[in-house]
Amino acid sequence: MTEKSLAERIGPAPAPTLPTHPAIAGWRTATPDDIDAIHGVQAAADAVDHPTWITPREDIADAFDLSYIDHGRDTVIAVTPEGEAVAFSCAMLHPSREGTLTVTISGAVHPAWRRRGIGTAALRWSYVRAREQLAEAIADAPPGEWDLQIKVYAEESTPDVVTIAEPLGLRVERWFTTMVRDMSIAPPHPTIPDGVELIPYTADRALDVLAARNDAFRDHWGSLPTTEESWRKFVDGEFLRPDLSRLALDADGRVVGLCLASVNRSDWETLGASHAYIDLIGVVRDHRRRGLAPAVIAASLAAIAEEGLSKVVLDVDTENPSGAHALYERLGFVATERSLALVQRF
């Protein structure tokens, strides 16, 4: 049997047609003027779906600055007769072209407007758009082996997302756990491997840390190379705390390990405690199994303890190949909430 072409694997991929719904006066694609409306929907949903943290407005605004997202084609908004936005959905094609083409669908429905079919209509629109994005991308893709996929992430507390996504062909493929550490328990003293220096993150090393991040995550499930454009949004943003973050340098000054932490004071009330969030922990592949991960984490925990914060939060893939889940437990983290990833592969 002849192997299917990339186009045949995706199948028909027409442009999406705006949904219709009796409770919605209109559906339209998004513009930068919709940032506050989208954030309003997201924040209301966050308060119900994962009440320990709220998506910052800055995250929504940053998404409108990224060159690889065209919200005029990629994001749809549902508006009531009163002009209130009550739902949105976005299909984002990752800019990486290293053997994988991935579209991630995200969105939310205001809790007061749920269980009316609005979320179903929005997600289905994004699913059609995602297939169109894959079809457009493969038209320009060089020959070779390509993994084509559509992803949707959801909280365990929102089973409706699974109910909507599975009939479209997506299947639950991965679970993630949020873990919290009580900082009233003294952090362990970092054991630094020979030939390694631990230092705080500094802006002049931004691209070196990006290179280390991309190497460290190359074999992690679902991970794609982070672009400089999106990396700058993160490291130059207002939430990253260089003083609480730590890097591991080898004898040549190369970044071989990292633990980057951020602080969003808006989340302190929702969690009920002052805390830092560890965004990234990674060790480059040729320096694994030397104790670098516990060293950089312990060094960051020491800085966070000195800052006087009450808790530290992170998220981990439950099947992480490096055994991260067990490592974090040994360092005092306790599992709390869970989330999942649904995937369709072509």
No. of helices (H) and no. of strands (E), the chain: 11, 12
Query: Which tokens go with 261?
Result: 């932490």
pLDDT the model gives residue 1: 45
Residue with more model confidence, 112 or 3: 112
Residue 312 — pLDDT band, cuts 50, 70, 90?
A: very high
The pLDDT score that the predictor gives to residue 319 is 84
CATH dotted code for 6-169: 3.40.630.30
- Nearest by Cα to 145 from 321, 11, 4: 4
Is the confidence at residue 305, as pLDDT, over 50? yes
Q: What are the pLDDT digits (tens) for 248-299?
A: 999 999 999 999 999 999 999 888 999 999 999 999 999 999 999 999 999 9
Q: Which CATH number among 3.20.20.70, 3.30.160.60, 3.30.1490.190, 3.40.630.30 corresponds to the domain 177-338?
A: 3.40.630.30
pTM: 0.93
- Domain borders along the chain are 6-169, 177-338
- Say whether pLDDT at 308 is over 60: yes
CB-based burial of residue 148 (10 Å sphere; 0-12 exposed, 13-18 middle, 19+ buried)? Answer: buried
Residue 187 — pLDDT band, cuts 50, 70, 90? very high
Determine the Cα–Cα distance for residues 77 and 122; give it in Å rounded to an integer: 8
